[in-house]
Structure 1
Amino acid sequence: MKESWHARRIGEAEEFWQEAFLDPASTFQTVKSTEISGEERRRLEVDVAIEERIALVLNGVKVADLPCLPSQLEELAVGHLVCEGFLEGIEDLVSVRVEDGEIFCEGRGGLKRKEARPAASEMRISPEAIYRALDEVHEGALIWRRTGGTHSALFLREDGRSRYFCEDVSRSSAVDKAVGSALMARADLSRSALITTGRLSSAIVSKAAMSRVPVLVSRAAPLMAGIDLAERLGMTLAAFARRPNLYIYTGEERIL
């Protein structure tokens, strides 16, 4: 088994990196690299996450070129169309197919994008449930732990259970895929929290709002525009979530 410098850095057992866990054809590629450590140099084989740009076509019109891992493309399409306001929900999607590096979707209605609406959910979640979900993000982020090149997202239900974990090279596409996975399973996102590893920009806050998610949490930083938008929409926004600390910027009443 080839050496993994990422594995050494996080102190995991070498057996963790057995090829059965990941599909290198769609997630990463092994390349040669030179490591400089003080006065020493050595050649290594390291794994690098794959990024492709996938065209998303809705009702015959290209609406996006999405940077992403070339996997879970149907979930990416569903999540992006809802998160960006092209569709109200998955019930508006008639069909989706992937063909030759493009995703073709048919939906009800036109291409006019909808605006995010205020969150009306009365869900409550505990800090401990959030910390456990972040632990699951760390444990499940196999591609990140192998390449250091991805973001992750998952949904945390009000009962403390987490579902629909996704990784991607783009924080936006990771959120889109998680949303798409949840919607395709007919999950009620109005009673869920979205846990992510990316910065909480206005774009990410808007995606959560469009998919009716009332609580958005990241282990990374918020941006001022994201805080302002969450405040206007009545969402709960928390960041720098790392046990035992959690910083809540808006909607504190939803955190127990």
Structure 2
Amino acid sequence: MAEGIVDQTDEIVELKISRGRVDVQLSKELPMGKTRIISTECRSGERKIPPQVWMKLKKQIPHVRFTSQTIMESIKNLNSSAEIYRRTGGTHAAALMDEQGRILTISEDISRHSAVDKVIGKAVLRGLDFKEIFLASTGRITSDIVIKAANVGIPVIVSISAPTDKGIKLSKVMGLTLIGFARGKRFNIYTHPERIILPKNSAD
């Protein structure tokens, strides 16, 4: 779902796992342009996105709002709950948060892409509504991460790290709110700040 290949779980007919390879049979035919091998390895995280894909994904982004306190609370909860990341600094963590900044589901992986894929998959299995929650991550926010969020309708991405230039541009075009360097009591809003409710005396 994060790759935009399937829209719902009942489209998956069969799944086989063997020697590190996963084969998935779907109930529908895929256009040749969508047929590709998905790797779990760390990548640069940037790829070209056709304009028609931008427009399709843009329609899925809901207009919800979260407070700045919620954003800061989410990062605090992410850091305290990502045990391997906290102990070693050698993994990435991703979590889906509710309107209070509480963790709904969390995953860790050596790849930031896989951590996001896992957390989205867990949310799908639990039947969570992506339009009412947001994604928090420890990794850089690239265009690939933005696409994963947009594919399922996540409106806001928050990271303790930096976004890339392409990640910012794509978020702006698709109407997704992108927040980086969320640390302590500060964060940077790069796109669509209207979703974040700031204190009246805040200059950030």
| 2:175 aligned residue (208, 231, 234) | 234
Matched, 1:144 2:85: yes
2:108 paired with 1:167: yes
Question: Cα offset for 1:125?
Answer: 0.9
Q: Which residue of 2 aligns with 1:57?
A: none
Whether the aligned pair in 1 keeps the contact of 2:61 and 2:154 (CA below 8 Å) is: no
Q: How many residues are matched? A: 175
- The higher-RCO structure (CA 8 Å, 6+ apart) is 2
Amino acid at match of 1:117: L
Structural RMSD (CA) = 1.8
How is 1:90-109 mapped onto 2 (pairs within 5 angstroms)?
A: 90-109=9-28
Whole-Å separation in 1 of the counterparts to 2:159 and 2:102: 17
Once the two structures are TM-superposed, the CA of residue 177 in structure 1 deviates from its matched residue by 0.4
4+ residue runs over 6 A deviation: none
Cα distance change of structure 1 residues 159 and 134 upon mapping to structure 2, 3 Å threshold? closer
User: What is the TM-score when the length of structure 1 is the normalising length?
Assistant: 0.64
**Consecutive unaligned residues in structure 1, runs of 5 or more:** 1-81
Map 1:171-182; keep pairs closer than 5 Å: 171-182=112-123
**Largest Rg, 1 or 2:** 1
1:106 CA displacement: 2.2
Compare the two structures and name the one with the higher strand fraction. 1
Within a 5 Å distance, the mapping from 1:85-234 to structure 2 comes to 85-112=4-31, 113=34, 115=53, 117-118=57-58, 119-234=60-175
Alignment of 1:58-73 (within 5 A): none
Question: Could you list the runs of 5+ residues in structure 2 that have no partner in the other structure?
Answer: 35-51, 198-204
Identity percentage of aligned residues? 36
